[in-house]
Amino acid sequence: MKLYFAPLDGLNGRIYREAHAHHFGGADLYFTPFYAPTTEGLTKKILTDLTCDGLPLESTVPQLLCRNPEHFMLAVAQLANIGYTHVNLNLGCPSGTVTAKYKGSGFLVIPDELDRFFDTVFSALQRDFGGMELSVKTRVGYSSEEEAPRLLAIYNRYPIGELTVHPRLRADIYRGKPRMKVFDLFARESRAPVCYNGDIFSVADLRKFTEAYPAISRVMIGRGAIANPALFLECRGTPVPDKKARLRAMHDEILEENYRRMGEGRNLVCRMADIWNYQIYQFFDTPLAARELHRAKTVAEYRAAANKIFREAPLRENAAFVQTLM
């Protein structure tokens, strides 16, 4: 089983990925939160960030959010120059600011243009970048399950290296249950190897999925791994001794590196609090400390609230993110 860390915008950027790999690991690949190429490709800041990533290049997959094939190929050329050999196209982001531009899952609304995009991009890849793999992360439609067969027919026309399927519509956002009957179509008829993504929050969730789909050997985990950074190891049956201490060490590394880059201010507090929206499920009896954490206005107030959680709140056994509470 290949296990991938999903891209989660605002949560698992470079600092988070490095800290996770350092203190837990277990993921075969880390997919970056999306980058949006422009007329000049990717910015110098993004390229510097990707060049300085502390993980091996073969462990990191840059994800691109784009509907312009020329802009996309400029970014591919830049990434190839750094040494990357695998890029991922985001066709899943449900954010309104993204879909309004027909990007992310909004691209699914215009399948003819999506088809032309792939035709141009794969022609350029085969001509100029034969060693570059393009994978795709997609939802199964924008507003209706009836869109799925058309989308799959487009994907099947091209040499996509891997098709990660999140079986929700854009209209679902992250609500409700994954639409597994639609996933069956992709699992059965996709020419590209299929990777499953959606609501894997525990070892039991992964076991249930693999029992239902024994032929699928690739799973991408996002929110469940933010909530429980040890999840990849636990899914592999690897013991995780001193889990609370490792959570604390990972937290401190993320906090200190972000503090070094961002300094004092509410932005740092909010970034750390976003992680706690998921990770809080690891701990017993934390409502007061959690409220203090989210009310913090300064880094000092945040540190005091986080210290209280690590010092006083015991870990839950087999804790997992709870979808209905978000």
- For helices 243-262 and 14-23, the axis angle rounded to 10 degrees is 150
Q: Class assignment of domain 34-198? A: alpha beta
Q: What distance in Å separates the CA atoms of residue 17 and residue 19, rounded to the nearest whole number?
A: 5
Closest CA to 12 of 167, 317, 220, 292: 220
Q: What are the pLDDT digits (tens) for 16-50?
A: 999 999 999 999 999 999 999 999 999 999 999 89
Q: Is the pTM of this model over 0.85?
A: yes
Q: Assess contact for 262 and 278: CB atoms under 8 A.
A: no
DSSP assignment of 251-280: HHHHHHHHHHHH-SSHHHHHHHHHHHHHHG
Q: What are the pLDDT digits (tens) for 164-217?
A: 999 999 999 999 999 999 999 999 999 999 999 999 999 999 999 999 999 999
The domains of the chain are located at 34-198, 243-312
Tokens of 36: 């949006």
